[in-house]
Amino acid sequence: MEKRIELVSSGVLFKEEEHEYWLTLPNGEKKQLCGITSAIQRQVAGHEYDGCPEYLIKRAGEYGTSVHKSIERLINDFEHDGTVETEDFRNLTADMNIEASEYNVTDLSNDDYDSCFYSSNIDIVTRLSQEDFGLLDLKTYSNAKLTKAQMTKARYQLSCYAYMFELQNKGAKVKELFVIHLCNKTKKDGSINHIAELVPIERIPSDICKALLEADRNGEQFNNPYELPKEVEKKCKRIIKLIQTKKEAEEELTHIKKEILETMLFLDVDNWKGDGITFSRTAETTRSSFDLAAFKKKYPDLPYDDFIKKSNVAGSLKILTA
């Protein structure tokens, strides 16, 4: 039977007004830690607010804080303030087992307090089983769908949370990551911009998250493996179109060849020649191959290396599309 994992306290004091994280060390001293959101903003999400006036950024921040507080009151005090956003949150999470809200995590590992540098609060932690958890981050963007920059930020943010969550809670496994996207604002034309959705987020491996945090801590630029060079990104749509065209052409050609082969078999014809094209039918046959693995197993003492011919193989590029 799985042992139930209880969440461990980080020992961090979060000063909300100053937005500061303070860790109490074993000797009683206080150490200030850095939030990971700013690190992610610097390293991979610098374009999140491109072209947005400062006053709108500030206004959006105030709205986001207000929604966060309403949801905290719902979770911690069972107080529903009647706002649409709070009701939307309640409906979206109705089937979830919420374990904690504003749960603080750090990158403390093996009691190495000197190396502990980052801390952040996770909006929502859900329990999936005795040792499995889900993490959710609340976003209040006005746009209906998250932009590429917003999605990048959310993906790294939640993945870094997952990395630090598993560091702090030994044996715990983060199985789900979601953005809760909520918005209920009045537009200039008087209509309501209403958004309420759960956005699943694909987790980034912990070693990549660790590399990002280490690069930021050292004042270096992180090389984002999920960001394409601009000259490559410009060609992506064309590449996808070419691959799709090739796939459709190959499927059509396979179907045509099947029809022609059936006709040649019916007419008992081996060859046809047309204008610039030749059709040749190959008779059914069997193929033999040498089972090297089975041979080695039966004759393990033979000097196989003396008979292995090696040759250089040129590198190649594999492209996968969604």
Residue 97 maps to which CATH number? 3.90.320
Distance of alpha carbon 280 from alpha carbon 264, whole angstroms: 9
222 shares its domain with 87: yes
Other C-beta atoms closer than 10 Å to the C-beta of 65 total: 12
Check whether residue 67 and residue 210 sit in a common domain.
yes
Q: Is residue 161 part of a domain?
A: yes
Same domain, 61 and 180: yes
Residues 126, 259 within the same domain: no
The DSSP symbol for 21 reads E
Compute how many other C-beta atoms are within 10 angstroms of the C-beta atom of residue 83. Answer: 16
Supply the pLDDT for residue 300: 86
Q: What is the pLDDT of residue 222?
A: 93
Q: Are residues 111 and 240 in the same domain?
A: no
The whole-number pLDDT of residue 230 equals 83
Instruction: Give yes or no: residues 143 and 246 share one domain.
Output: no
pLDDT, mean of residues 115-126: 95
Domain residue limits at 57:
12-227
Residues 193 and 261 in one domain: no
* Mean pLDDT rounded to a whole number for the chain: 91
Output the pLDDT for position 303: 85
pTM: 0.77
User: Residue 306 pLDDT more than 90?
Assistant: no
Q: 38-42, 94-98, 288-292: lowest mean pLDDT where?
A: 288-292
Question: Of the candidates 8, 6, 9, 30, which has an alpha carbon nearest to the alpha carbon of residue 20?
Answer: 30
* Boundary of a domain, candidates 175, 192, 227: 227
- Per-residue pLDDT band for 322 (boundaries 50, 70, 90) equals confident
pLDDT band for 293, please (50, 70, 90 cuts). Answer: confident
Task: Tell me the C-alpha distance between 23 and 16, whole Å.
Answer: 14
β-strand pairing of 12-15 with 20-24:
antiparallel
pLDDT tens digits for range 53-85 = 777 778 888 899 999 999 999 998 899 999 999
192 located within any domain: yes
Specify if 314 maps to a domain: no
How distant, in Å, are the alpha carbons of 75, 149, 229, 315 from that of 72?
5, 27, 41, 54
Average pLDDT of 156-176? 96
* Cα-to-chain-centroid distance, residue 18: 30
Q: What percent of the chain has pLDDT over 90?
A: 64
Most confident of 132-136, 236-240, 304-308: 132-136
Is 315 a member of any domain? no
Query: Considering the domain boundaries, does residue 289 fall inside one?
Result: yes
**pLDDT tens by residue, 171-204:** 999 999 999 999 999 888 889 999 999 999 999 9
Same domain as 302, residue 205: no
Same domain, 260 and 299: yes
Number of structural domains (the chain) is 2
pLDDT of residue 141: 92
207 lies in some domain: yes
Question: Quick check: 79 and 86 in contact, CB under 8 A?
Answer: no
Residues 212-244 have pLDDT tens digits of 999 999 999 999 998 888 888 889 899 999 999
| Confidence check: pLDDT of 287 > 80 | yes
């918005």: which residue's tokens? Answer: 183
Output the pLDDT for position 167: 95
Per the domain annotation, does 319 fall within a domain?
no
Confidence of residue 1 (pLDDT cuts 50, 70, 90): low
Which pLDDT score is estimated for 301? 86
**99, 188: one domain:** yes
Instruction: Give the residue carrying structure tokens 């809200």.
Output: 101
What average pLDDT does this structure show over 207-212?
96
Distance, CA of 223 to CA of 208 (rounded, Å): 10
Q: Which of 208, 227, 246 is the last residue of a domain?
A: 227
pLDDT at 50: 64
Give the end of a domain, one of 227, 248, 263.
227
pLDDT of residue 51: 66
Q: Is the per-residue pLDDT at 47 higher than 70?
A: no
Alpha carbons 84 and 86: distance in angstroms, whole number: 5
**One domain for residues 163 and 270:** no
* Co-location of 87 and 204 in the same domain: yes
